[in-house]
Amino acid sequence: MILLERKKRCNIKILYCVLFLSFAICIFTALAINKDDLKKYGTIRIEEMNCQLQKKLGEKDEFGIIPLISLPGSGNTWTRTLLKETTGIYTGSVYNDTNLFKNGLLGELTDPTDGQTLFQKSHDIKIHCFSSKINGILLIIRNPFDATVAEWKRQNGGGHTGQVNEEIFKRTTWYVMANNSLKRWVNLTKMVFQKHKVKIYLSFNNSQKTPLHVILYEDIVRDATSEMKKVLDFMEHENLFLVKDRILRLGCFKKALNETQKFHRPRRPPSFEYFSNDLIDLGNKNIEEVLLFLIENNYPLIDIIKYKRNRKV
Ligand SMILES: *[C@@H]1O[C@H](CO)[C@@H](O)[C@H](O)[C@H]1NC(C)=O
Ligand SMILES: *[C@@H]1O[C@H](CO)[C@@H](O)[C@H](O)[C@H]1NC(C)=O
Ligand SMILES: *[C@@H]1O[C@H](CO)[C@@H](O)[C@H](O)[C@H]1NC(C)=O
Ligand SMILES: *[C@@H]1O[C@H](CO)[C@@H](O)[C@H](O)[C@H]1NC(C)=O
Ligand SMILES: *[C@@H]1O[C@H](CO)[C@@H](O)[C@H](O)[C@H]1NC(C)=O
């Protein structure tokens, strides 16, 4: 009897042992899987990601017409390369710039309204090719003083890297150009909103404003990944385009950005104020006007008040 009892107890002990062991193995495996998951979705995975992602042109009429509007000097070309990476689709342009084409912007020479590209660069929204149906608008706003300087450098041989002789800012032609550019900045913003108010008919009794998304250039410089995410959200929300491999693309984008930023040389700051007080007054007045205009149009981008510049003493 006693022997049997002992055997029974022993069996129970063994049972407990087995149960405990399986439990432990379970937990151990779970932990191990978790660790694997971390590897997969944390930074290690990003390093191991295959970022040889495809980029393509669409078929004719595959995409809607979505002008990418900016004042010259506002980083339009740079933004296009970011958009191409995050969407996987080449961007277009109304300018047919063969240099950009040679530099890999393969949508550059296509007809901007044929639907092969996603986003079409233009510095003007009133032009003929956008007079017909457009499906949305992307507007880049940059500090008009900075954009004007960047554009003047580009026009005078600074290219996009921008090391030029500062003498170009002492020419009278500079004042003429800057005067025009600061005015054009206001006009362009207002024209874009005029276009935004044009109704798009989704069906015969269902219409909406032309979808508009505004990006501040300074926000792209600070955090390009978040700004690209917002563009993708906008595109999805307005049924314009869905990036199917969005998480992978954004991960690769972040990684590539991280790598290129190591090579950025700091810019030499200006050795004198390029703008006369007249031009500073004009620019500041325009900035206030645009801010008020944006607020009235439910786009309260208060941050642009920081664009205002101090007068020379
Ligand atoms: C650019 O090229 C396209 C296609 O060849 C053409 O339809 C368009 O008119 C050209 N635009 C300009 C501004 O030259
Ligand atoms: C902007 O400039 C265009 C000419 O390009 C002109 O027709 C239009 O009236 C101007 N709009 C505003 C709001 O100044
Ligand atoms: C549009 O019209 C259809 C049929 O006439 C109707 O069922 C639908 O509710 C209408 N939609 C709107 C937004 O008025
Ligand atoms: C960015 O680069 C730094 C080193 O330059 C590296 O430590 C970091 O992990 C990188 N981040 C990403 C998200 O790749
Ligand atoms: C800018 O242009 C206007 C004419 O459009 C002129 O009256 C004004 O004096 C110019 N301002 C500067 C600073 O050149």
Instruction: Give the closest residue (by CA) to ligand 4 atom 10.
Output: 258
Exposure on the CB side of residue 116, measured as CA atoms within 13 A: 15
- Burial classification of residue 168, based on how many CB atoms lie within 10 Å of its CB (0-12 exposed, 13-18 middle, 19 or more buried): middle
Residue 293 CB less than 6 A away from ligand 5:
no
Test site for ligand 1: of 93, 94, 96, 122, most ligand atoms within 8 A of the Cβ: 96
| Beta carbons of 75 and 220 less than 8 angstroms apart | yes
Q: From first to last of its 313 residues, what are the pLDDT tens digits of the chain? A: 455 555 555 565 655 645 555 555 444 444 444 433 433 444 445 556 788 889 999 999 999 999 999 999 999 999 999 999 999 999 999 999 999 999 989 999 999 999 999 999 999 998 878 887 899 999 999 999 999 999 999 999 865 555 678 999 999 999 999 999 999 999 999 999 999 999 888 788 888 999 999 999 999 999 999 999 999 999 999 999 999 999 999 999 999 898 887 666 677 889 999 999 999 999 999 999 999 999 999 999 999 999 999 999 8
Domains in the chain: boundaries: 9-41, 67-307
d(CA 285, CA 305): 11
Class of domain 67-307: alpha beta
**What's the whole-model pTM score?**
0.81
| Beta carbons of 70 and 93 less than 8 angstroms apart | no
Task: Please give the sequence-ordered ranges of beta strands (E in DSSP) within 103-211, or none if there are none.
Answer: 120-122, 137-141, 199-203, 206-209
What SS3 class is residue 1? Answer: coil
C-alpha distance from residue 73 to each of 16, 153, 162, 283, 284 (Å): 74, 9, 11, 15, 18
